[in-house]
Structure 1
């Protein structure tokens, strides 16, 4: 979710701001509320609200008037021998100050901070890399040649040479339909990364209320759009070895200014590709629900891409077992139930060692969905967990 949004939900804002907040005197944030500062007051920033119309391709690009934003891809792949691989690439943006407080552009002045994560997993191996950058929202160079940025037409999102960019040349076509992702880090036996081609085989999906995804009973939320129908092909490098891969991917787009309530300490976010062609996004935010409980939501997506928003009472997420990871007990086996869709799944991580030891640490890795009675495999996907 990312962030719930890899979701969708993802490691985020406060760590980035604290690490790079010295770009300009006085821009570092105050101590935050909620996980990674996402429950902090957002006065002066644009707000994600129900009824906000979404426009494409414009909304594929950056929203600098909102405080936080990400472009977040996960993929479940196989190599030529049928060995499973998982990968993640995420680009995060955070505005340091509200639009009205932006400093004048200058060679050492920034009002936008950027962070990117790369991860590749295969069996027990899990390699992670992280990069940072800064920009000014009024700097004309940001659109093409800045260190980091995201532009809608033709689509390109990047940090240094880590780039997610369109392969569509027709200016009148949907430039988000075919993308190339290129990101590498390290040398020799430490080399990790990928060059992948993504082809959309279904439509964009708007979550929640026509794209507004509520995250607490108090009404906080984000604008949340996914492309859960990527066909992915290309090459992955792990431990210096190159693997030809293919499979399916899920890309989340979210932007907000106050994603969580101040009492919400983290989230558990699932994206699933089911064997019958359905997709499911489901999350729970720990805290912020009615009477102090957890807040849950999700989207049941037909094979044709028709979404059905799931209200908090329409799904159940129950942890069944934990694993000791990075000195923490993390739930890596779950029961996921959506009675209205006739769905009852055991969702389990085949490999628990998927800790993202990044500036804001979190767990993220591949999962397999099975029938709780027969054990039959019913799908694959990704799970992200924060705040543990």
Structure 2
């Protein structure tokens, strides 16, 4: 199996456009492309910007190798002139956009890519594949964090998605406020705290439940989590405390009526003297099931399938559109897919108390902002040079502050209008 560089993570139509533009002389026209969402997924009141850190890592290595070009030439996809251009390709333009952890709404210009037509258009698929995935995961995770009301959530969805998507999802979920991940690669690559319990298979391996629990405690100590629902939950809890003692760190419940089981489990643990033993629940958790457990004695949640699939919205619906050529605004007028021409700048307007009230997008021009406005775009790439990455912890804190700033209605899980309106102001 041959490894290919990130540059081949693209669609053929981009290379078709590059080939034609090189031939007719338009490839070097200065252009501006923008990434935005026309609408939020159904039921969502905000989007979360995530993925720029991963995107910049990919961009640093975005070039066409000899193997890549041999494949493209051999398949008849590009001609000799295009192959020569690709061999020399490095992005030498500028990229600005919303910081990771920023909120976005319909029409928010979350990423602006400037440079020649050819060097910008060839980035479309990579940019959209990274941002559409990570923004979707981060938005779903943020809703779960809100529903959890301060209780920690473990991301444990690696077995429900592609192996590389699992690592990206763990990163996006941690940015959104999850406490940890079960994915070792995400821990190693991004410094995310990792955690894990055990599966039912480990209990079934042993002759009986106490033997399985004793094995785990002997290996890991009492600061571990025992899975107690392989057979009978009440007896499982009794066995866990009999083996580990009342200072066992936690028990996990992965099935059944979690509301009822959490109540009964807490009562039983307390009666056994294990008043400090935590209860972790998992099993197809999403923001709605987490919210239903708000009043129950649950200490931590484990979320898997729902978070790595965007909890019903697996893509953020972002598009990458040309908005300016040689300083001239260009507008797409297709029905239901119209664009606003010109390079945009944006500010978030706030009350003196800090509550966000509106996002204002300026088409062609520098915004005339007020004292409580916050400029939203930052520089990621200047003249082809990628800026130093922002620490993930900083992006995580930025999102926390953004969520605090929007009106409380915007945090509801029910369907409704975007948390704040977006107003486009033309020059």
Question: What TM-score does the superposition give when structure 2 sets the normalisation length?
Answer: 0.26
Name the structure with the higher helix share.
Answer: 2
Question: What TM-score results when the alignment is normalised by the length of structure 1?
Answer: 0.28
Query: Which structure has greater strand proportion?
Result: 1
Higher relative contact order (CA 8 A, sep 6+): 2
